[in-house]
Chains A and B, each alone.
Chain A
């Protein structure tokens, strides 16, 4: 029931953002569409945390602000390496241990790694992520540990000690 309500609110916001018409006919159409979609989701039995990944907004927002600063920093490093005439890069493969068993925390962590330029998560295994780094200094395990703890905190999952 709670998931159905959150899904309906999210879809209402999306409808109002994208349509921009506030005349009764269109609003009624929107309400009918949202009701049908929520009903189909409930019938399929997919109203769970994976379909409706709601999380605490302040935590997630502050995490994204921190992540954006990291992205800018990493971009500077990559741009320096790419534009320098002798193109000094040192590609590395490194195994990063996962600090949680929750799907949403793993997804958040792997997506954050890929979003930061210079590191791409190549393969997901049950207990580690295989990461390809463009520069050797980007593959320091401490940085990843920090990011893993922060991303688990952002989605409200308790990280385990690694």
Chain B
């Protein structure tokens, strides 16, 4: 589906009736933005998996932090590449900037609340329980 999207963007400016005229700049832009968005989605998915797998509250915060730094920023970068030099890009840049300011503040507020409520963090080494163990 991504492939057809890139191709559609590339040949959209081809002249009618003339020979196939590929818009190389559009092709590069579409592929770059697709690559950026897909990498961002990969980071978001890995972060989600981390939230599900990690053992306690504090460690899960780290996985959640991964989604809102690199994941969200890469998706926004992809959208900026797609929209080019327009006003929409400036707005997206503003969104990226605010995300960079607010997400660590929110993470710190949650972690601090848990600490103030005396939630004990699990410290020391941790390995996932083996799946072919006692079946728990």
Q: How far is the CA of A34 from the CA of B65 in the complex (A)?
A: 35
Binding site for A on B (CB under 8 A): 43, 46-47, 49-50, 53-56, 58-59, 61-63, 65-66, 69-70, 87, 90-91, 94, 100-101, 103-105, 107-108, 111-112, 114-116, 121-128
Q: A64 to B102, alpha carbons, bound, how many Å? A: 15
Most chain A CB inside 10 Å of its own CB: which residue of B53, B61, B66: B66
Which residues of chain A from 112 to 161 have any CB-CB distance to chain B below 8 Å in the complex?
A: 112, 114-115, 117-124, 130, 132, 134
Beta-carbon contacts of A87-98 to B below 8 Å, as 1s and 0s?
111111100000
In the docked arrangement, what's the CA distance between A117 and B42, Å?
Answer: 16
Contact B70 A71 (CB under 8 A): yes
5 intermolecular pairs with C-beta atoms under 8 Å apart? A85-B128, A88-B125, A115-B65, A122-B108, A124-B112
A82 touches B53 (CB 8 A): yes
A93 to B61, CA, bound (A): 14
**Smallest CB gap from A112: residue in B:** B104
Say if the beta carbon of A33 comes within 8 Å of chain B.
no
- 1/0 per residue, CB under 8 A from B, across A52-73: the answer is 0000000000000000000110
Pair A134/B62 contact, Cβ less than 8 Å: yes
* Contact partners of B107 in chain A: CB under 8 A: 114, 120
State A122–B94 Cα separation when bound (angstroms).
27
Query: Quick check: B46 and A83 within 8 Å, CB to CB?
Result: yes
- Tell me if A79 counts as interface (CB < 8 A to partner B): yes
Query: Across the two chains, which residue of chain A brings its CB closest to B126?
Result: A89
Q: Kindly state whether residue A86 has any CB partner on chain B within 8 Å.
A: yes
Q: Is A105 interfacial (CB-CB < 8 Å)? A: no
Is A75 touching B66 in the complex (CB atoms < 8 A)? yes
A52 to B54, CA, bound (A): 40
Cα-based distance from A85 to B123 in the complex (angstroms): 20
Task: Report chain B residues within 8 Å CB of A91.
Answer: 56, 58-59, 121-124, 126
How far, in angstroms, from A130 to B116 measured CA to CA in the complex? 12
Q: Are A120 and B63 interface neighbours, CB within 8 A?
A: no
The answer, among A93, A111, A118, A132, for a CB contact under 8 Å with B104, is: A111
Interface flag for A20 (CB, 8 Å):
yes
Would you call A51 an interface residue if the criterion is a C-beta within 8 Å of the partner chain's C-beta atoms? no
